[in-house]
Amino acid sequence: MKIRHGIIALLLGVSSLFSGEFTLLSSDLAGQLTKTQEDSGFGCDGLGISPELHWINAPIGTKSFAITVYDPDAPTGSGWWHWVVFNIPSTTVSLPTNFGDMSKPVSISAVQSITDAGKGGFTGACPPKGDKAHRYFFTVHALSVDKLPLDASASPALVGFMLNAHTLSKATLVSYYQR
């Protein structure tokens, strides 16, 4: 009996080693954002290009994904939503560099709703000059539903409400930016 329990414990331990945690990765992001991810408006002169993102080890039961980018340090009293993407098919495990440019055709079916800049797509970083380094939380949400019943006019707060109701798991990368 002890041997059988030992074998079961060993198998459970080995399977957890191979299952891994839900993880968000990027070939474009490091600890610091660059002029590439800096906005090209609001007094900033960056390129405003969204980074490549990819994720691994989504939980069983994932039916779709969403991506959000949030700056809690923006001097608004409520932070700043830089990117809100949802209804990404469960078969998709990455978004290419510059996916957030709404003027370019994309091959991935997803909704990019409005950000706090009042438009869809990616809004780059643009903290006030001389302000402390701002944190940018890039988060992928694994969702329990195929689609959120929202369209591109949905506010970040409404999307966030729906994400909280349907998120199985999430993974986050944090980068910083200061001007």
CATH of the domain at 166: 3.90.280.10
| Gyration radius from the chain CA atoms | 18
**How far apart, in whole angstroms, are the C-alpha atoms of residue 168 and residue 156?**
19
> What is the extent of the structural domain holding 165?
20-177
Residue 123 token pair: 């809004």
Residue 134 within any structural domain of the chain: yes
Q: Is the pLDDT of residue 110 over 80?
A: yes
Residue 1 within any structural domain of the chain: no
Structural domains of the chain, count: 1
Q: Tens digit of pLDDT for each residue in 42-96?
A: 899 999 999 999 999 999 999 999 999 999 999 999 999 999 999 999 999 999 9
pTM: 0.88
Q: Calculate the average pLDDT of the chain.
A: 91
Q: Which of 3-12, 57-66, 84-93, 144-153 bottoms out in mean pLDDT, i.e. has the lowest?
A: 3-12
Residue 99 token pair: 């996916």
Residue 13 within any structural domain of the chain: no
pLDDT band at 134, cuts 50/70/90? very high
pLDDT of residue 19: 58
Residue 63 within any structural domain of the chain: yes
Strands 53-56 and 23-25: antiparallel
